[in-house]
Every structure is written in structure tokens, then in C-alpha cells.
Amino acid sequence: MNVIKQVSEDKKNIEISIDGRFDFSLHQHFRDAYINCKEKNSMFTICLSKTTYMDSSALGMILLLKDHAENYSGKVVISKPSESVNKILEIAQFHRLLTIEL
């Protein structure tokens, strides 16, 4: 599977890693990785270091996660995007919406 989820013991730090292509085919797996995480003030980290491709549906999925996190006073951070993915995030101006840690 291309979506890997790791949750801290206190359930407040959730890391979701995408390995390979991040497109609509991962929609359900990506959603399943966060939808039951309803702890207040949670930190969702999306690790994109092994992501080779990202399309507009992936950008939409990240925005849905952002909405989910904000409903529970949480935050979303994008971590270590690959060079090609970072260019897509820059074009979409995601740095204005989310923290991107290079």
C-alpha cells in the first residue's frame, strides 16, 4: 500500500507517508488514515519524501485533511516533499495555506 500511517501513543501526532504516486487512486486509503483521528489539537504530518508524482486530486485530499484537522483545532504540516512535488506545491501556492518543511 502507498499510504502508511503512524500514530503516537497519545494519538495527537499522526504521520501519513505517501510512497510513489499520490493521485485519486489513493483517495479512500488517504481518508481512512485520518478520518477516525478526532483528538483535539492533533498534529497531522504528511511525509512526501518518497512521493514521485502528485496531481490536483491529491491537493484536494490535503485540503480535506486540513479541514478535518481544523475541526478539532489541529494542524497539518507537509514534510520533506520531493523536488518535483515541491514544485507542484509552489505552483498551487500551498505555502500560503500550510507549513511546508523542506
Rounded to whole angstroms, the Cα distance separating 18 from 39 reads 22
State the residue range of the domain holding 31.
3-101
Pairing label, strands 99-101, 51-54: unpaired
Q: Please give the pLDDT value at position 1.
A: 60
Rg (CA), the chain: 12
Q: Please give the pLDDT value at position 4.
A: 97
Query: Is it the case that residue 69 has pLDDT exceeding 90?
Result: yes
Sheet (strand 99-101) strand order? 3-7, 13-18, 43-47, 75-79, 99-101
- pLDDT tens digits for 13-64? 999 999 999 999 999 999 999 999 999 999 999 999 999 999 999 999 999 9
- pLDDT tens digits for 72-98? 999 999 999 999 999 999 999 999 999
CATH number of the domain enclosing 31: 3.30.750.24
Q: Please give the pLDDT value at position 12.
A: 94
Domain count, the chain: 1
CB contact at 8 A, 44 and 76: yes
